[in-house]
Structures are given as structure tokens and as C-alpha cells.
Structure 1
Amino acid sequence: MRIGLGSDHLGYGLKEELRVYLTERGYEVVDFGCTGTDPVDYPDIAFRVADGILEGQYPRAVLVCGTGNGMTIAANKVCGIRAALCHDPVSAERAGKSNDAHILTMGALIIEPERAKQVLDVWLASEFQGGPSARKIGKIAERDERRQERRQQPE
């Protein structure tokens, strides 16, 4: 499976650890940077990674910044994307099984690398179950579709 990966400068170290971890487990990683600790703006990375999902480059992605909040907010601004901030296995499992999250976000200042790997493993193993959650995800998708339609209408 291909998986997108990106971070800002605060998340760079954890992103690199996760890149190696995923590669060792046989994932093909599409790395959108950043490439060091020089400051970068997290929305730039989040938008590129989210767009890659919508373009079909990979089905899932991981974004890392200082707290995870910025990446989550930015990725969720992309119509059609569901990003979930998770720092524990239970949240990660529900993000996959109930929320059908395309993107897992984490905060490098919040979570230790070994715990981040555990959270990542749980999220990757969690497939969307549908059921009652499908109705809720459908409502989110309908809202995204209406937003897209409004944007495409001439003024």
C-alpha cells in the first residue's frame, strides 16, 4: 500500500521515524516533506497531502506537526477529506472503523515515537465498518458536495 506522509518543522523528527517504520513494514511512502527543521507552514504540506488522496495517489496519509491540531484543521479544510487527531490506540481505531479517516494526524510535542508507531499500526489495521457510522459519514460527504457545488456556481 502507498501512504502519504508530511510534516512541518516541529514534526520533522517524528515524521522521519514514521517514514522509516512504514518503509520497513513494506509500505511505499510518498513523502511531502518537510526536509529539515527550517520553518515551513503546515497548511502547505497538509493541502498537498490531502490533494494527493483526492487525486488517488494513495488511500491514506499521516501528518505531523507540533500538536497535531494545525495539520488536522488544515487537512479538514480540503473538501472530501476526513483527518483525525489521535494520540491513543482507541481514538485511532475509531478514526478508522467509525470515521473512515483518510488522514491520521499526530503532534510530535505530544506523543512519544513508540506510542506514535502503536497508534499508527492500530489506525492502519482499522477498516471502516459502515453500519450506523455510514449514515453519519454520508452526511459529511453530502455537505462537502454542497460546498463544492456552491463554489462552482457562477456569481
Structure 2
Amino acid sequence: MKIAIASDHAGFPLKEEVRDYVRKLGHDVQDLGAYNTEPSDYPDFAALVGKALMSGEVERGILICGSGVGVCVAANKMPGVRAGMCHDTYSAHQGVEHDEMNVLVLGARIIGAALAFECVESYLKANFIAKEERFVRRLNKVKAIEKQYMQPVAGTALGL
């Protein structure tokens, strides 16, 4: 699977470890930054992962910042992005299975590498349970809200 990963400066050390772990799991990883611990702005990295998803360049994303909150809020402003902050394995797979979450968000100041690896593996192994009508119905309602309130950017995959 093609995965985009990015972080701000606070998430950089954990991003480096998670990136290498995802590669060890056999996935193709696009590292979209940050590339050091110099102060940087989390919305920039959320936008990079969102654009990679919207264009179809990648199938899923991973975002990391200090708490996870900032990149989660920013990523969810983009059409088609369903980012969820998960610091446990249940949420990491359930978010994909029930809600078709396509971006896993981690807080580098909240969890360590070992738990991050478990969450990432749980997230990447999960698939949306499209055969269950209740999950499809709920996802369609989320997409309807998105369509009603978000205006796609011209020139993007959703901007026709």
C-alpha cells in the first residue's frame, strides 16, 4: 500500500521511527516532511498528506504532531480526508473498519514508539467493512455533510 507520512517539528523524531517501521511492514512510504526539528507549522504537513490522498497518489496517510490535535483538525478540513487521532489499537482499526478513516493521527508527546507501532500496524491491516449496510449508510451521511459544507478546490481530484 502507498502511505504518505508527515509531521511537524514536534512529531519529527517519532515520524522517523514510524516511517521506517511502515517500510519494514512492506509498504511504499512517501515522507512529506518535516525533515528536522526546526520549528514548523503543522497545517502545512496536514495539507501535504491531504493533497496526496485527494490526488490518489497514496491510499492512506499518517500524521504526527505534538498532541495530534492540530494535524487532525487541519487534515479534516480537506475534502475526502477522514483523519482520526488514535492512541490505542482498537480505535486504529475500528476507525478504518467502521468509518473508512484514511489518515491515522498520532501525538508524539502522548505515546511512545512501541505503542505507535502497534497502532500503525492495526490501522494498516484494517479494511472498511463495506458489506455491512449500517457502516455504508453512516459513511454516506458523513460524505453528504462534507458535500454540503465543503467547497472543493478547483483543479483538485474533487474539484471537477
TM-score relative to the length of structure 2 = 0.90
Give 2:46's aligned residue. Answer: 46
Q: 1:118 to 1:148 in 2, by over 3 A?
A: same
Matches within 5 A, 1:36-115: 36-115=36-115
* 1:147, distance to aligned residue in structure 2 (A): 2.8
* 1:23, distance to aligned residue in structure 2 (A): 1.4
Give 2:149's aligned residue. Answer: 147
- The Cα offsets for residues 9-67 of structure 1, whole Å up to 9 and x where unpaired, read as 00000000011111122211111100000011000110111111010001101000001
Extract unaligned runs of 5+ from structure 2: 155-160
* 1:146, distance to aligned residue in structure 2 (A): 2.2
Structure 1 stretches of at least 4 aligned residues deviating more than 2 Å after TM superposition:
146-152
- Tell me how far apart the structure 2 counterparts of residues 149 and 50 of structure 1 sit (CA, whole Å): 15
Of 23-32 and 118-127, more deviation after overlay is shown by: 23-32
Give 2:116's aligned residue. Answer: 116
Of 132-141 and 8-17, more deviation after overlay is shown by: 132-141
- The Cα offsets for residues 80-114 of structure 1, whole Å up to 9 and x where unpaired, read as 21000000011111111011101000000001101
Q: Secondary structure at the match of 2:137?
A: helix
Give 1:18's aligned residue. Answer: 18
1:137 to 139, 149, 152: 139
Q: Which amino acid aligns with 2:96?
A: G
Give 2:9's aligned residue. Answer: 9
* 1:148, distance to aligned residue in structure 2 (A): 4.2
CA RMSD of aligned residues (A): 1.5
Count of matched residue pairs: 152
- Tell me how far apart the structure 1 counterparts of residues 18 and 42 of structure 2 sit (CA, whole Å): 17
Q: Which amino acid aligns with 1:129?
A: I
Q: Which amino acid aligns with 2:148?
A: R
- Tell me how far apart the structure 1 counterparts of residues 66 and 51 of structure 2 sit (CA, whole Å): 22
Q: Secondary structure at the match of 2:96?
A: helix
Q: 1:151 to 1:53 in 2, by over 3 A?
A: closer
TM-score relative to the length of structure 1 = 0.93
Q: Which amino acid aligns with 1:85?
A: M
Identity of aligned residues (%): 35
